[in-house]
Structures are given as C-alpha cells and as structure tokens.
Amino acid sequence: MNIPTDQQRIDARQKPKSSVVMRQDWSHLLFLHWEVSPEEIQGRLPEGLFVDTYEGKAYLGVVPFFMEKVRPSYLPCVPGLSWFQELNLRTYVHDKHGRPGVWFFTLDCDQWLAVKIARMLFHLPYNHAKMSSTVKANYLIYKSQRKGDSTEQVFKYPETLTNKQEAEVGTLEFFLLERYRLFSQRKNGSIYEGLVHHQPYQYEYIEKSPQPTELFSLCGFNEPDDAPVSAMIAATVTVKIHPLKKST
C-alpha cells in the first residue's frame, strides 16, 4: 500500500483523458468537517480502500450544496430535472497505489430521477429527501429531511463569498477540498472509481458554529457534540464527470 504524495494530490487536478459523460455546476457549497478516529473510518471501508489522513487525523465531512445545469454531455439542460439540492456525508480515502479520493457514506437528494440514475450508473448510496432553501439577511437557510426520517436538518451559512482564496498544497484545506476521484462499490463487492474535473475551489472560512449532524447517526456514527473543526464555503465550479471504471 502506498500513501498519497503531494505530487499525486496535485496530479489529481489534471484534466482526464477519458470522455466526458456528464456536465454540471456545483454552487453554494458548504464544507463542514469533524475529526474521527482513523480506525473507525477504516473499519467502515471496503477491502482495497484505505483511510486518508492529514497529520494522522481522519475526517468526516458534511457537505450541502446545489447541483445546477446537470445533464448528459450531449444533451441540453431540462427544467425541473437539471437543478436540485444535495447533501452528503463523506470521508477521504486512497487506493493501494496512493491515489486519493472520496468515499461517500450517503448522498441525500431531492430529485428522484437523479437518485435512481446515480444508484444505477455510479453505484452511489443516494437517498431521496425533501429539501428547500431560502435567503435571509444574506444567509442561506438550507433544509433537508430524508424520506422516512423525522428530523429536519437546517444549515445556515453565508450566501456569497467576500474573501476568496485557493488552498495551498500541504494544508488541511487542500487535503479536504482538492478531491477529483470518487470510489464506489457495486453489490458484488467490486470497487469502481470515477474522475471529475473542475478548477480548484475558491473558498472562504466561516464561523465554526454548531451545525446539523444527523447524517452521522443515519450512517451509524456517533454524532459529535462540538462544532466542526473546519468550516468553509466555496464558490461555484463547473464540473465535467468522467465514466466509472473498475479500480485495479
């Protein structure tokens, strides 16, 4: 097993050579992270994937955001289908070659067709949820309630960035944000990987105030009692999605 090097993390930003299967924008991104035991994370990963750590620490991230202009690369956007909200719980992993990526424990979404397509084509653990958003006094109020769950999660964060910056290589922010590979698992146990490409995030720190952590318990983790150790918002990025392939 190889540990990711800084160069591997930088190389992940390069434009993939494979074809583009989908295009979309990600906007109003909120990144909330809590420290979690690396051993606890490793125990929840499939064989062939390894917890990725920063200075010996592992993280779970709660990420609410908006999916916009979602469509296959060869088709136009469709009103009512190409815009929706998404909320995920994720951690950071690498494969035996040291290639860094993201592992999703859940992805909640308010677009039923997107849920079905993502489950079928990308083997990702999507769940349908009732979601909405409003803006009050320059703050975004982002609400989500998973189908079948009684708890409504309400996130509050600045609607726009005022002091954009790009993460520097070697920092915690670079470790948490700069992820261009996702891993998923088919029902037969096979691990797949898919690449995405976009410009590096332009981010801004926000106050580390308490935020909903219901996704932790929904995924079998203990909910943290404290505020996140890292809280950031990021500007909109235009994203190209590349096809899944079996991880080797």
165: its two tokens: 């910056």
Contact 102, 179 (CB under 8 A): yes
82: alpha, beta or left? (left if phi > 0; alpha if psi -120 to 50): alpha
**Res 122 pLDDT > 90:** no
Mean pLDDT value across residues 212-220: 97
**Res 20 pLDDT > 90:** yes
Return the SS3 of 188.
coil
Specify the pLDDT at position 118.
82
Specify the pLDDT at position 81.
87
Domains parsed from the chain with CATH numbers: 6-246 (2.40.400.10)
What's the pTM value of the predicted model, to 2 decimals? 0.96
pLDDT per residue over 163-181, tens digit each?
999 999 999 999 999 999 9
Q: What is the mean pLDDT of the chain?
A: 95
Cα separation, 144 vs 101, whole angstroms: 26
Alpha helices in the chain (DSSP H): 6-11, 38-42, 112-122, 172-177, 214-218
Cα–Cα distances (Å) from 15 to 18, 137, 168, 185, 230, in that order, read: 9, 38, 19, 24, 28
- pLDDT category at 39 given cuts 50, 70, 90 is very high
pLDDT per residue over 62-112, tens digit each?
999 999 999 999 999 998 889 999 999 999 999 999 999 999 999 999 998
**CA angle (3, 201, 227) in 5-degree steps:** 80
pLDDT per residue over 230-239, tens digit each?
999 999 999 9
Cα separation, 182 vs 195, whole angstroms: 7
% of the chain residues with pLDDT over 90: 92
% of the chain residues with pLDDT over 70: 100
DSSP state of 131: E
Is the dihedral angle over the CA atoms 194, 196, 201, 207 positive or is it negative?
A: negative
Specify the pLDDT at position 83.
93
- pLDDT category at 201 given cuts 50, 70, 90 is very high
Specify the pLDDT at position 113.
83
Closest residue by Cα to residue 194 from 159, 238, 145, 239: 239
Specify the pLDDT at position 38.
98
